[in-house]
Structure 1
């Protein structure tokens, strides 16, 4: 079998390369306290997009550091309440996308909500000095500042906060909430379920934002991880701060959040993935301690994985 990473038997044992900060748990306890102190000021605005069997809303809430976050919310009509819900996260620099792909779950009696990550391709704010969008550079935002100002810290908290907001909706059964997403959305799925442990089921696909030092050592700090290379070239060309930088990235490394997950996990990985290398994904998967299963696609990279959307839907029907 051709390979771009370790042999599969080694991947199943791999525990990651990136350093874990000594105060990792305290860091996230402090972050969650900040999130819980925020008044989200949730607003539901009926959308101009309509379908007969569901209500569609633009949902807004205030996240940490004052950012106003947007999500698309689809609520099925004429179904028993409370009912299950699915929270969806998108790929890096993307957005919540069109309404139509949310209707599949709504037609089955699920509420579904899809978040625009702050400052990326949708309408959620990035309050880091500007209003509106910055699109990319989010991994490195805060590396020259205190770790509490890492932008992905705030994005992870947005994900957890949104899941909690959904669980508090009167029509939703808080014990029957699932989370899905691919690439960045896969990494955010892991982070969301780790920081909001009431998430019942999660289905991450080739998760991004895992084991940054492994990406660097494989010379794959390009494409989605290109900003790591750019940061070193511009701010630490002699790599005198390399240990410091990778340790700080450890705060937002999903492999270290993975053991907080309480829900059941269904994950997919393509063994030819050169965007989010398989070993980085296994570094997170191998630390999950709850019931879990992994769909392995030997010939596929960072691309559509045939059948996995159907497998995910079947998995979530068990909520």
Structure 2
């Protein structure tokens, strides 16, 4: 029972993406002066900084701050906030992008950090990554290769997770990879009541973990499938995933980066399609209404799946990763996993740059033809907003953008609610 509760708890965290940062005694508040944090190119920006304790300014608080384009903060200085409040001159930007102010307050020997990021006409950001001339042909062949692999679906009922209205299964499917087959695992939740239902594929954020399945959504009358990407069962003891993440699966996003046919994410992307193969084969599926959602790496996979699979009718990516990754090579922030930043000069090779272009979310976003609900924040340090806007700007389908400027790599409860309400509206109203 303790194991199951832990797995369900971890799954809930994964389902809700990332939690809001923990409260601390000292609060550092940083914000651009414009209410929407958005400026015209060339327009000067000032950052308001407050250091608060119990809601009141901390007099004579010492701060150290950096200002500059995100991931390239260059202006460094320190000052004392006589009254606990100050306005810092941030300068401006002469091109579309994001200017970030990071502040560290040192109070009673402890450091408290926060940041704010001003946007400069982000709708004008264009991708740094190039589209390979054979991109479509490459992925058409990959899909054809996957289609030749029998699904060999195996379902194991998990009685301890079932509810009065939902059956929960651990599922295992055969997936494709260049040098043989591998299994894909996930948690399937199906309404018990006889009938036909829409389906939702939940794709995971980065890491190695167990999953509990999206029972709550299934109770509303939607088949849900939450998958892992690593070819391992998703119901094992939590310590196993910790050990794998620290060992064989450490930095999996770099595996075979110099070979587009063997790169780790090839079978990951194809695994999302295999998951859809399974969902549409279920007798309970209504035959038409299929959506995909996820955050971070899952946001990337949501866009990739929608771009590759015409069976997907809606996609709801939250702060997508794997976006415009070569931005660093063009002097601006690139997306997670930051494989081309200054800390990874060994990746700056022609072969690795070429491989990355076949897997960059930007190039899949150009092929999305279905309605898209897109959510992100300006303060994200894991998935920089420059990279995420490079994706959003090339989506040509009907798209809805919801900004939560203050958020980093986490979401407000209201944001999660809005994403799910959008999905419910599409899947249940059109049922």
TM-score category by the smaller chain?
0.7 to 0.9
Q: Does structure 1 residue 98 correspond to structure 2 residue 209? A: no
1:75 aligns with 2:173: no
Q: Partners of 1:44 and 1:228 in 2: how far apart?
A: 40
Deviations 1:139-191 (A, max 9, x none): 322223x3111111110110112112201211012311111100001101111
Query: How many Å separate the matches in 1 of 2:338 and 2:253?
Result: 10
Which structure has the bigger radius of gyration? 2
Give the structure with the higher percent helix.
Answer: 1
Aligned to 2:24: none
Gap regions ≥5 residues in structure 1: 125-131
Contact 2:130 2:357 (8 Å CA) reproduced = yes
Q: State yes or no: 1:266 paired with 2:373.
A: yes
Once the two structures are TM-superposed, the CA of residue 232 in structure 1 deviates from its matched residue by 4.1
Question: Structure 1 residues 67, 98: CA separation in 2 closer, same or farther (over 3 Å shift)?
Answer: same
Q: Deviations over 1:89-141 (max 9, x none)?
A: 11101445224xx12211111111100112589479xxxxxxx8733323322
Contact 1:184 1:209 in 2 (8 A): yes
Match of 1:308 among 415, 422, 429: 415
TM-score, normalised to structure 2's length? 0.65
1:107 matched to which residue of 2? Answer: 219
Higher share in strand: 2
The aligned residue for residue 288 of structure 1 is: 395
Compute the displacement of 1:215 (Å): 4.7
1:201 to 314, 317, 322: 314
2:158 to 47, 69, 81: 47
Distance 2:284 2:228 in 1: 22
Asked if structure 1 preserves the Cα contact closer than 8 Å seen for 2:300 and 2:361, the reply is yes
Aligned-residue offset at 1:305: 2.9
Q: How many residues align?
A: 302
The answer to whether 1:175 aligns with 2:288 is yes
SS in structure 2 at match of 1:67: strand
CA deviation map 1:258-285 (0-9, x unaligned): 1222321101011111111111111111
- Specify the SS of the correspondent of 2:125: coil
Q: Distance in 1 between matches of 2:334 and 2:392?
A: 21
* Secondary structure in structure 1 of the residue aligned to 2:128: coil
Partners of 1:226 and 1:169 in 2: how far apart?
Answer: 38
2:105 maps to which residue? Answer: none
> Is it true that 1:62 corresponds to 2:169 in the alignment?
no
Counterpart contact for 1:70–1:116, Cα < 8 Å = yes
RMSD of aligned alpha carbons: 2.6
| Structure 2: unaligned runs, 5 residues or longer | 1-31, 33-46, 48-68, 71-96, 99-117, 237-243
How far is the alpha carbon of 1:217 from its aligned partner?
5.2
Higher relative contact order (CA 8 A, sep 6+): 1
